[in-house]
Structure 1
Amino acid sequence: MRNTVDWALLFMRVSVSLMLMLVHGLPKLLHFNQQVQVIEDPLGLGGAMTVSLAIFAEVLCPLLIILGVFTRLACLPVIVLLSVSLLLVHPQWSLEEGQFAWLLLIIFIALTIAGGGRIAAGRSFFAWQNNLRWSH
């Protein structure tokens, strides 16, 4: 049974992270200068900083999540970004209009609770590091 949970976590990590990167992160990265001009800035950080933080949460963090490296920690910026988007940038959205963001938020919170599972590069790295520590 545990094996199926690990495969489910792998599937969830990879699919939801790819979706976030492809739909939101990569377009911001590829069109950075244009995005600086049009992005909402609900925290008053400035367009360049807001886009940079969004790229961090929508490109770098999903890559870590896909690999299973610091999965729980990598989910936190994504959760913050989605929460700011839903609560500050688009508070007028109905549940229907915001359903994609709400579903992403639910999934990334679930990954934060569950972790990346046993099929993760992070587990291999930390196991290797622990072996080095104990072999001396």
Structure 2
Amino acid sequence: MRALKLLGGAGTPDLGLLYARLTGAALLLAVHGLPKLLHWRGELAHIDDPLGLGPGITLACALFAEIVCPLLVAAGLCTRLACLPVLFLLGVSMLLVHPDWSLEQGQFGWLLIIVFGTIALAGPGRFSVDGWWSRRRARDL
């Protein structure tokens, strides 16, 4: 309880949302985003293109959803909006690119859908740029 008082009296839902934002974003960045960015030439050669946009556009969209959006989610900036490209990319991946995967094979993707879906529904919580901004606006009104 003392730790919660040190954090400004915030309840555990805010801490839980902070934890979900930071860990979900870190996993998506580390496992998908950064490897694609570091090896983008190789990715262009073998990236799946289920929507027929072309490999360049598909890779650019994937990099946006797997690098820019997780950084926004981690900061809690435009959080709900930043979750949407991630959820779209994961949905396309799980339903169109890997429809033959068993639940066990796709468990990482489904868990990321759960994490980012929860954040999109619940919002970023108090410990976020969005939370700070809404408290400031409410105070100024």
Q: Which residue pairs with 1:7 in the alignment?
A: 15
Identity level (%)? 49
Where 2:124 maps in the other structure, the secondary structure is coil
Cα distance per residue 1:70-110 (max 9 Å; x no partner)? 11110000000000000000000010110110111011111
Structure 2 counterparts to residues 1-136 of structure 1, below 5 A: 3-128=11-136
Q: What is the TM-score of this pair, normalised by structure 2? A: 0.87
TM-superposed deviation, 1:129? 6.0
Q: Distance in 1 between matches of 2:107 and 2:73?
A: 22
User: Any unmatched runs of 5+ in structure 1?
Assistant: none
Q: What is the TM-score of this pair, normalised by structure 1? A: 0.91
Task: Give the aligned CA root-mean-square deviation in angstroms.
Answer: 1.7
TM-superposed deviation, 1:123? 2.5
Q: Which residue pairs with 2:6 in the alignment?
A: none
Cα distance per residue 1:55-84 (max 9 Å; x no partner)? 100000000000001111100000000000
TM-superposed deviation, 1:124? 2.4
Which letter maps to 1:51? Answer: L
User: Any unmatched runs of 5+ in structure 2?
Assistant: 1-8
The answer on whether the counterparts of 2:10 and 2:126 sit within 8 Å (CA) in structure 1 is no
Which letter maps to 1:18? Answer: A
Where 1:58 maps in the other structure, the secondary structure is helix
Q: Which runs of 4+ in 1 moved over 2 A?
A: 122-132
TM-superposed deviation, 1:125? 3.7
